[in-house]
Chain A
Amino acid sequence: MSGAGLGKGDELLKVENVSLRFGGVKAITDVSFDIRKGEIRAIIGPNGAGKTSMLNCINGFYHPQEGAITYKGIKRGRMRPYVAASQGIARTFQNVALFKGMTTLDNIMVGRTLKMSSPFFWQLWRHGPAMREEVEHRRFVEEIIDFLEIEHIRKVPVGKLPYGLQKRVELGRALAMQPELLLLDEPMAGMNLEEKEDMCRFILDVSSQYGTTIALIEHDIGVVMDLSDRVVVLEYGRKIADGTPDVVKADQKVIDAYLGVGH
C-alpha cells in the first residue's frame, strides 16, 4: 500500500469541499479539513450538525455528491466500507453496534478478520495453520482485553453488558483492526464521570502507545479540549471553525453556536 512512509504530522486524510445531501436535506455543505498522522482530531457541533455523516463519508458508508476525500495521498473513488477497512480505517458507532449474540472475546476477534488468512481447508479441521493463527490472534486480543480492563467479561455475550462496558468492547473491536485511522463517534455518550475518565485514558494511551491517528466526535467540551490536538466545528452541515482548542474556544462564532447553548 502506498503512503506507508507517512511520518508524524503528515497529512493522512484530506476532505475537500465535501457536500452530502439526502433528497432535500443538506447534511454536509462544502466542508474541508484535514487529519494529520498521529494527532487526535476532534469534530464537534450541535446535534444534527453532520458529524456522524462526515464519518460515514470517510469510511465509505455514504457517498458525498460533491468534493473529494484523499487518503494517504490517493484520491478515493466511490468505495464500499470493507475497502476502507482494508485500508486501515476503523470506527465505533454513536449507538453501539456490537454483535449482540457473541461474547466479548468473539466480538474483538472479529476485528482481527482482515489479519487472518488461513485457508478454508484448514478451518474445517481447526488444526495446523488454522489453529496456529487462531492462537496467535487470541493472544493479541487478550492484550487488548488487558489494556481495556475487561478480563472479567471475556466470555459474556455483549448484549447482556451495561452500556458503558459495551462502548469499551466496541473500542476494543476497533483496536483489534490495528487501524491507522480510528474514528470514534461519541465514545463517551451516556457514561458516568468515572467511565468517562477511563475512556479518556484509553484514548490517550492508544494515541501515545500505538501512534494511532484518531478522529473523535464528542459533546463534552471539557473532554474535547483536554484530549484533542485540533478541533473542527460544524454547524448545520457547514464548517464554522478549525484550529487548536484554544483558538476554537475563543472563536466568537463557536461561542454563539455551540458553547453558549446547553453545555
Chain B
Amino acid sequence: MLYREAGQFKTTYEADMAVFPIRQDRIGLGLIILAAFLLPLFSSDFFIGTVMVPFLVFSLAAIGLNLLTGYTGLLSLGTGAFMGVGAYACYKLTIAFPEVNVLIWIVASGFFSAAVGVLFGLPSLRIKGFYLAVATLAAQFVLEWCVVRIPWLYNYSSSGSIDVPTRTLFDIAITGPQATPTTRYLVLLSIVVIFTWIASNIVRGRIGRMWMAIRDMDIAAELMGIRPLQTKLLAFAVSSFYCGVAGAVMMFLWYGGGEAKDAFNINLSFNILFMIIIGGLGALLGAFLGAGLLHLVPIFLKFGLPALGVPIGGETAEHWTHIIIGMLIIFFLIVEPHGLARLWSITKQKLRMWPFPY
C-alpha cells in the first residue's frame, strides 16, 4: 500500500510532465538528497573521502557520457581526455585568476572540454559505432601527449605534477590541502545535484527528444527536420561539458593534484563506459547506479571482506574485481541492455500493481 498512484490524477500537462509524477517518488528523492547532505554527520572522513567523493565524481562523468552514448547513440572512448581537458583548464584558470571563485572556474572549464568534444565529434556525421569510438580515442592520445610535452599545463613544476591551490568559499577552504573531506563532499554534492537536475531538464525537452530520435532512427529524424550534424555536435558539446566539469572536480575536490596527471587515461574512459552499460544506457539514474556499483565492488572486496573476517589479499581482491565487473558487463550487454535502471523500473512497475498480477 505504500507505493500507489491511485487517486493522484493529473489535471494539467505541467503536472503530467514533471520528472516524478508519482508523489511517493518525489518524497523518496527528497529524502535521498536530504540524507546525502546529512551523511557527514553520521560517517567517517574515510568513508566520505574514499567512497562518496569518487562516487559522485564518477556519477557526474557517467551522466556526461550517457548523454552522448545512451541518449544520442554515439559511442565515445574519449571520456578520460575530455575530463582531463576540464581539469587542466580549471587549473590554469584559477592560477591565472586566483581572485575569481574557483567554483566559477570549475563550471567554466566545462566550456573548454565542450569545444574539444565538438572537434572530436565532427567525424560522427560520417562514421558510427566502433569506428567513431576509435576516432574519439584519438582525443585520448592527443591529451596524454599534451600533458607530457607541454610543461605550461603543469606550470613548469619539476615533477611534472600539479598541486591544487587552496581556494575558499565564504572563507572556508573548499580546495587544496586545507579543505576537509566533508567540505569537499558537500560542494561536490551540490554541483552534482544541480547538474543532474539540468541534465534531466534537457533530456525531457525538445533537445533530448532530438537526441533520442537520432539514436533510434536517424533517417526518420532527418525527415522530421532534425539536422543530424548539429544535433550530434550538440550532444558532444553538452556531454563533454559534463565530463569537463567532472574532470575539474576530480582534480580539485578529489585528487587535489598529484597523480591526477595519470588519472585521465584510457582506463578511466573504459570505466565510465562500463558504468553506464551496467547502470543503464539512456537513463540518468543508471549513471548513479553504475558508478555506485563499479566503485563499490573493489572497495567492498578490499576493505569490506577483511572487515567481515573474510581473509582476502589486496591482489586477490583486485583479480576478483576484474572478474565480477567483467561478468556484470557481459550479463547486462546480453540480458538487459538498459542496465540496472531498467531492472529498477520493472521492480517499481511490479510494486505499483502488487499484490494484483495485473
Binding site for B on A (CB under 8 A): 59, 61, 80-82, 84-86, 90-91, 93, 97-102, 106, 109-111, 113-114, 116, 118, 120, 123-126, 130-131, 133-135, 138-139, 142, 173, 177
Establish whether residues B227 and A126, one from each chain, have CB atoms under 8 Å apart when the complex forms: no
- Is B221 located at the chain interface by the 8 A CB criterion? yes
B189-239 contacts to A (CB < 8 Å): 198, 201-202, 204-207, 209-210, 212-213, 215-217, 219-228
Please give the distance in Å from B9's CB to the nearest CB on chain A.
Answer: 15
By a CB distance below 8 angstroms, the chain B residues around A91 are 223
Please give the distance in Å from A99's CB to the nearest CB on chain B.
Answer: 4
> What is the bound-complex CA distance between A130 and B209, given in angstroms?
14
Q: A98-B217, A173-B224 are in contact. List 4 more A-B contacts (CB 8 A).
A: A85-B222, A99-B215, A102-B213, A113-B226
Identify the 4 closest CB pairs spanning chains A and B, nearest first.
A85-B225, A99-B216, A126-B201, A114-B225
> What is the bound-complex CA distance between A131 and B16, given in angstroms?
12
Establish whether residues B221 and A99, one from each chain, have CB atoms under 8 Å apart when the complex forms: yes
> What is the bound-complex CA distance between A46 and B352, given in angstroms?
51
- Is B150 located at the chain interface by the 8 A CB criterion? no
By a CB distance below 8 angstroms, the chain B residues around A99 are 212-213, 215-217, 220-221
Between A and B, 26 residue pairs with Cβ closer than 8 Å are A59-B223, A61-B223, A80-B222, A82-B227, A90-B224, A97-B220, A98-B220, A99-B213, A99-B217, A99-B221, A101-B212, A110-B210, A110-B213, A111-B224, A113-B210, A116-B206, A118-B206, A120-B207, A123-B201, A124-B202, A130-B205, A130-B206, A134-B205, A173-B224, A177-B224, A177-B225
Interface centre among B205, B217, B223, by most chain A C-beta atoms within 10 angstroms, is B223
Q: When each residue 26-53 of chain B gets 1 if its CB lies under 8 Å from chain A and 0 otherwise, what string results?
A: 0000000000000000000000000000
Establish whether residues B223 and A81, one from each chain, have CB atoms under 8 Å apart when the complex forms: yes
By a CB distance below 8 angstroms, the chain B residues around A98 are 216-217, 220
By a CB distance below 8 angstroms, the chain B residues around A90 are 223-224
B263-288 contacts to A (CB < 8 Å): 282
Please give the distance in Å from A251's CB to the nearest CB on chain B.
Answer: 33
Q: A113-B226, A123-B202, A123-B206 are in contact. Are A102 and B13 (CB under 8 A)?
A: no
- Is B305 located at the chain interface by the 8 A CB criterion? no
- Is B17 located at the chain interface by the 8 A CB criterion? yes
- Is B315 located at the chain interface by the 8 A CB criterion? no
The DSSP consensus for interface residues of chain B is helix
Please give the distance in Å from A143's CB to the nearest CB on chain B.
Answer: 12
- Is B171 located at the chain interface by the 8 A CB criterion? no
Interface residue tally on B, bucketed by range:
20 to 34
Please give the distance in Å from B242's CB to the nearest CB on chain A.
Answer: 12
Please give the distance in Å from B20's CB to the nearest CB on chain A.
Answer: 13
- Is B99 located at the chain interface by the 8 A CB criterion? no
Q: A99-B220, A120-B207 are in contact. Are A135 and B215 (CB under 8 A)?
A: no
By a CB distance below 8 angstroms, the chain A residues around B226 are 82, 110, 113
By a CB distance below 8 angstroms, the chain A residues around B221 are 99, 110
Please give the distance in Å from B200's CB to the nearest CB on chain A.
Answer: 8
> What is the bound-complex CA distance between A105 and B36, given in angstroms?
34
Please give the distance in Å from B264's CB to the nearest CB on chain A.
Answer: 26
Interface centre among A81, A85, A97, A120, by most chain B C-beta atoms within 10 angstroms, is A81
Please give the distance in Å from A191's CB to the nearest CB on chain B.
Answer: 20
Among B201, B212, B227, the residue within 8 A (CB) of A106 is B212
> What is the bound-complex CA distance between A221 and B188, given in angstroms?
66
- Chain B: CB-nearest residue to A137: B206
By a CB distance below 8 angstroms, the chain A residues around B14 are 131, 135
By a CB distance below 8 angstroms, the chain A residues around B204 are 126
Please give the distance in Å from A87's CB to the nearest CB on chain B.
Answer: 10
Q: A113-B210, A123-B206, A124-B202 are in contact. Are A138 and B13 (CB under 8 A)?
A: yes
> What is the bound-complex CA distance between A90 and B222, given in angstroms?
11
Establish whether residues A138 and B17, one from each chain, have CB atoms under 8 Å apart when the complex forms: yes
Please give the distance in Å from A166's CB to the nearest CB on chain B.
Answer: 12
> What is the bound-complex CA distance between A114 and B216, given in angstroms?
18
> What is the bound-complex CA distance between A101 and B222, given in angstroms?
17
Establish whether residues A85 and B223, one from each chain, have CB atoms under 8 Å apart when the complex forms: yes
Among A113, A125, A135, the residue within 8 A (CB) of B13 is A135
